[in-house]
């Protein structure tokens, strides 16, 4: 009834492969965008922006980049945190060397530096795959974090070894830095995430996306039917690292405000990987569902006991969060390997048939 498809006829090949084959999907997306652009900014508090909305968007974008590489192209990676760091440091240096540069251009260009590094460390994928490729990307993680610490030029020889985000204005409005308002940064991040998501949806539905999926399912068969494995894999590393690099720049400039090299260490890579696994590999929607769960979980653990008058310490909240995330990963890998996105797909299928049983 809610997803009734009666009367929605497809009379052309283009209509059959449209972005929204069911009209209600477009309505649902419009409702979500209405919430994101109108309702949340009018109702959310400063805490909600800083602790929930902005980090959900940034982590979703990072997981989207990882999902393109792992979920769509089948190339394992454990270096997402380091590639986010490349984007953050590249954006910092661009704005330091060219202080008049627009921050939108700086963030967009920082993704290309991350993409170049990603392609460089993606070259081993032409010879190795699976567990061995994961170890190679893990080596990239350790090397890049070490480079962030030892190459003082990256943080302008600051004695603290950290990069500090200055106040950055665009059209007379402060969008980054200590004076920036949370709602301004939220809109800035939201627009970037929407643009990157639109790009990812279209590239995964087109010829390049089909090429990635063929390599993921069976690379030998893909090569036999004429797919260039080197081009397919390195393209996946390039696009994935670009999106991850942009998310890293947003991570520091529009949320954290400052960063040290340790911020991009292996725990960040695992957190993005957990979001992709729980949300569902090979899914665009799953990145957002996984990020909502992972980011909101510590807030829920800390606020629910306090609402019932039960005292709970910050260390206990952290331990419970780690335990619950681990339990969720194991549960999803056993019960539903395709994550939360698959649960929504099953609900959608039921709504299309409801109230009929078959």
Question: Which pLDDT tens digit goes with each residue over 165-198?
Answer: 989 988 888 999 888 899 999 999 999 999 999 9
Alpha helices in the chain (DSSP H): 13-16, 23-34, 40-43, 46-48, 54-67, 80-97, 103-122, 131-150, 182-205, 207-217, 219-224, 229-251, 266-279, 285-307, 314-335, 339-353
236-260 pLDDT tens trace: 999 999 999 999 999 999 999 889 9
State the greatest distance between any 2 C-alpha atoms of the chain, in Å, as a whole number. Answer: 68
pTM exceeds 0.85:
yes
126-165 pLDDT tens trace: 888 888 888 889 999 999 999 999 999 998 888 888 899 9
What span, in angstroms and rounded, lies between the C-alpha atoms of 89 and 91? Answer: 5
For the chain, give every domain's residue range: 46-353
The pLDDT confidence band at residue 33, using thresholds 50, 70 and 90, is very high
Pick one of 2.60.40, 3.30.70, 2.170.120, 1.10.3470 as the CATH number of 46-353. Answer: 1.10.3470
What proportion of the chain, given as a percentage, has pLDDT over 90? Answer: 48
In this prediction, residue 302 carries a pLDDT of 74
Question: Mean pLDDT, the chain, as a whole number?
Answer: 88
Long-range contacts of 103-108 (CB under 8 A, 24+ apart): 103/168, 103/170, 103/175, 103/176, 103/253, 104/170, 106/249, 107/192, 107/246, 107/249, 107/250, 107/253, 108/246
What span, in angstroms and rounded, lies between the C-alpha atoms of 287 and 272? Answer: 9
In this prediction, residue 358 carries a pLDDT of 59
In this prediction, residue 2 carries a pLDDT of 67
Reading the block at residue 40, the tokens are 């949340």
Spatial contact of 282 and 71, defined as CB atoms under 8 Å apart:
yes
* Listed residue (97, 102, 90, 35) closest to 247, CA to CA: 90
Strand partners, 169: 174
Comparing 313 with 253, the larger pLDDT belongs to 253
Average pLDDT (56-81) is 93
Comparing 308 with 154, the larger pLDDT belongs to 154
Comparing 200 with 1, the larger pLDDT belongs to 200
- 310: helix, strand or coil: coil
Q: Is 352 exposed, middle or buried (0-12, 13-18, 19+ CB in 10 A)?
A: middle
């Amino acid at each position: 009834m809610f997803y009734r498809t009666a009367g929605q006829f497809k009379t052309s090949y283009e209509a059959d492969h449209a972005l929204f084959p069911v009209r209600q999907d477009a309505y649902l997306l419009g409702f979500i965008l209405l919430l994101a652009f109108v309702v949340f900014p009018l109702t959310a508090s400063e805490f909600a922006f800083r602790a929930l909305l902005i980090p959900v968007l940034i982590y979703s974008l990072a997981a989207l980049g990882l999902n393109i590489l792992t979920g769509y192209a089948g190339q394992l990676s454990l270096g997402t945190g380091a590639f986010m760091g490349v984007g953050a440091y590249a954006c910092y240096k661009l704005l330091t060397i060219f202080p008049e540069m627009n921050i939108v251009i700086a963030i967009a260009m920082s993704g290309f530096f991350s993409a170049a590094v990603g392609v460089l460390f993606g070259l081993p994928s032409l010879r190795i795959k699976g567990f061995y490729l994961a170890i190679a990307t893990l080596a990239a993680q350790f090397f890049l974090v070490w480079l962030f610490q030892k190459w003082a030029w990256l943080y302008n020889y600051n004695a603290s070894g950290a990069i500090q985000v200055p106040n950055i204005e665009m059209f007379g409005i402060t969008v980054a830095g200590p004076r920036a308002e949370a709602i301004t940064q939220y809109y800035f991040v939201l627009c970037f995430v929407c643009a990157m998501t639109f790009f990812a949806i279209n590239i995964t539905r087109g010829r390049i996306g089909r090429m990635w999926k063929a390599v993921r399912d069976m690379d030998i068969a893909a090569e036999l039917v004429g797919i260039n494995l080197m081009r397919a894999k390195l393209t996946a590393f390039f696009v994935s690292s670009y999106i991850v690099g942009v998310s890293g720049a947003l991570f520091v400039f529009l949320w954290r405000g400052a960063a040290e090299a340790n911020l991009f260490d292996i725990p960040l890579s695992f957190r993005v990987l957990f979001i992709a696994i729980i949300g569902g590999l090979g899914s665009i929607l799953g990145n957002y569902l996984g990020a909502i769960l992972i980011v909101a979980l510590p807030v829920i653990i800390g606020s629910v006991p306090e609402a019932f008058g039960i005292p709970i310490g910050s260390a206990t909240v952290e331990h419970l969060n780690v335990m619950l995330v681990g339990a969720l990963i194991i549960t999803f890998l056993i019960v539903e390997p395709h994550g939360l996105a698959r649960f929504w797909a099953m609900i959608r299928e039921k709504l299309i048939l409801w109230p009929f049983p078959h």
